[in-house]
Amino acid sequence: MSYQIGLVGAGYIMQKEHLPALMKEERANVLAVVSGSGQSAAEASARFDIPNVYKTEEEMYAAHDLDLVMIAVPNAYHAEAAVRAMENGVDVFCEKPPAITTAEAARMEEAASRTGRKLMYGFHHRFSQEADIVKAAAADGEIGDIYHIRVHALRRRGIPGWGTFTDVDKQGGGPLMDIGVHMLDLAFYLSGWYRPLEVSASTHYRLGRKPGVGLLGSWDPSSMSVEDFAAGFIRFEHGRSLVLETSFAANTKEEERLSVHLFGDKGGVEIDPFEMYTEKYGALLDITPAYLDQADPRSDYERQIEHILDVLEGKARPVSEPWQGTYVQQLIEAMYESAAEGRAVSLDG
Ligand SMILES: NC(=O)c1ccc[n+]([C@@H]2O[C@H](COP(=O)([O-])OP(=O)(O)OC[C@H]3O[C@@H](n4cnc5c(N)ncnc54)[C@H](O)[C@@H]3O)[C@@H](O)[C@H]2O)c1
């Protein structure tokens, strides 16, 4: 079985991760690519032997009967591109974050249900072996009731020096929108989609607006319109809570740390580096994995592509569902609103 795939956007993530993963999949036939300027599409076409390059998505849909479109363009164009694809009868994989507003994410969700097309988001951390272990441990009752979650997505000097990541109009926000979203999604995927009652957050603009060392390329401080640090607190029903810290730049030890820590009444788990904390046999025990790379050397992106093709083939149900994108987007929007207004935002009602 071979699936006809079109690409919208052919920049960093498409060329670094998705295309190499697609090339390893016999079921994937990448037929066409569209990109904003056309330059990255031409480059991707040459590097990965993609036979057709188009200037617009309409031209691509008119020329081909696609099974899947993969979208990796600046966040502000996700909703438009995803809805257009679904209205053209094509299933969608869309990079994270779902969109830049809750209304857009809801529009994407509505289009998926109206057209009957699949809409899967690029939350690739769900495809790690560590996530599989936590899911299995939770199903076995090893963690118990999760009453608190800590989310970290901290970079020391990781303001992306390419693309539009410092432009609030194109991206919708900084680290909260870009990397915080990964760990928020992972936290809910691993614990549960609890009903949020109230959100509180602060955003900071301290380091990104001055020149400095760049560990992800160099950026232009004068065009930095997104936050460089965000902190948030979410209160859920039944007293559950979540704290978040996320940064593109912060004075902290590690270069980058993306992690989720689940606090349960039977056990706890931290995803990266992976460690489980439990009390058994009259002792406090820590459990760490050994040789995970040898168990499965594939990257999360490769596992994600395999899953998407399994979904197209009818062998799997999508791991990510459109309403989950809207849920995460709503929390992010509430955090930005809380930070801008300097008060807690109620989601209860
Ligand atoms: N899963 C991850 O961890 C991860 C990592 C990096 C990027 N991303 C996401 O992927 C998306 C793209 O990021 P990137 O780093 O590849 O950016 P990039 O700037 O390298 O590439 C963006 C691509 O979009 C094209 N483009 C711009 N405007 C367009 C438009 N209006 N219509 C069609 N194409 C357009 C550009 O020509 C380019 O090909 C973002 O949403 C980002 O959040 C996800």
Q: Is the CB of 183 under 6 A from ligand 1?
A: no
Supply the pLDDT for residue 38: 78
Quote the CA–CA distance of 238 and 77 in Å, as a whole number. 37
Instruction: Indicate if 311 and 262 belong to the same structural domain.
Output: no
CATH code for the domain in which residue 177 is found: 3.30.360.10
Pocket perturbation via mutation, ligand 1, pick of 15, 16, 18, 35 by most ligand atoms within 8 A of CB = 35
Any idea which residue has 């002792």 for tokens?
Answer: 283
Instruction: Indicate if 19 and 90 belong to the same structural domain.
Output: yes
Instruction: Indicate if 168 and 63 belong to the same structural domain.
Output: no
Supply the pLDDT for residue 348: 85
Supply the pLDDT for residue 292: 87
Quote the CA–CA distance of 91 and 66 in Å, as a whole number. 8
Q: Is the CB of 11 under 6 A from ligand 1?
A: yes
243 CB contacts (<8 Å, ≥6 apart)? Answer: 148, 149, 150, 151, 231, 232, 233
Q: Is the CB of 142 under 6 A from ligand 1?
A: no
Q: Is the CB of 185 under 6 A from ligand 1?
A: no
Distance from Cα 161 to the centre of ligand 1, integer Å: 13
Q: Is the CB of 163 under 6 A from ligand 1?
A: yes
CATH code for the domain in which residue 40 is found: 3.40.50.720
Quote the CA–CA distance of 136 and 130 in Å, as a whole number. 10
Instruction: Indicate if 92 and 187 belong to the same structural domain.
Output: no
Q: Is the CB of 45 under 6 A from ligand 1?
A: no
Q: Is the CB of 271 under 6 A from ligand 1?
A: no
Would you say 267 and 144 are in contact if contact means Cβ atoms under 8 Å apart?
A: yes
Supply the pLDDT for residue 349: 76
Which residue minimizes the CA distance to atom 31 of ligand 1? 36
Would you say 124 and 287 are in contact if contact means Cβ atoms under 8 Å apart?
A: no
Instruction: Indicate if 203 and 287 belong to the same structural domain.
Output: yes
Q: Is the CB of 208 under 6 A from ligand 1?
A: no
Instruction: Indicate if 62 and 151 belong to the same structural domain.
Output: no
Instruction: Indicate if 166 and 194 belong to the same structural domain.
Output: yes
Distance from Cα 188 to the centre of ligand 1, integer Å: 25
Instruction: Indicate if 25 and 113 belong to the same structural domain.
Output: yes
Instruction: Indicate if 137 and 281 belong to the same structural domain.
Output: yes
Which residue minimizes the CA distance to atom 21 of ligand 1? 11
Instruction: Indicate if 272 and 308 belong to the same structural domain.
Output: no
Q: How many domains are contained in the chain?
A: 2
Supply the pLDDT for residue 19: 98
Supply the pLDDT for residue 295: 85
Q: Is the CB of 37 under 6 A from ligand 1?
A: yes
Nearest atom within ligand 1 for CA of residue 78: 41
Instruction: Indicate if 202 and 270 belong to the same structural domain.
Output: yes
Q: Which domain holds residue 292?
A: 126-298+327-346
Distance from Cα 75 to the centre of ligand 1, integer Å: 7
Per-residue pLDDT of the chain (349 residues; tens, 9 = 90+): 899 999 999 999 999 999 999 999 999 999 999 998 879 999 999 999 999 999 999 999 999 999 999 999 999 999 999 999 999 999 999 999 999 999 999 999 999 999 999 999 999 999 999 999 999 999 999 999 999 999 999 999 999 999 999 999 999 999 999 999 999 999 999 999 999 999 999 999 999 999 999 999 999 999 999 999 999 999 999 999 999 999 999 999 999 999 999 999 999 999 999 999 999 999 999 999 999 888 899 999 999 999 999 999 999 999 999 999 999 999 999 999 999 999 999 998 7
- How many CB atoms are closer than 10 A to CB 257? 17
Distance from Cα 275 to the centre of ligand 1, integer Å: 33
| Token digits of residue 290 | 């050994």
Instruction: Indicate if 58 and 15 belong to the same structural domain.
Output: yes
Distance from Cα 9 to the centre of ligand 1, integer Å: 6
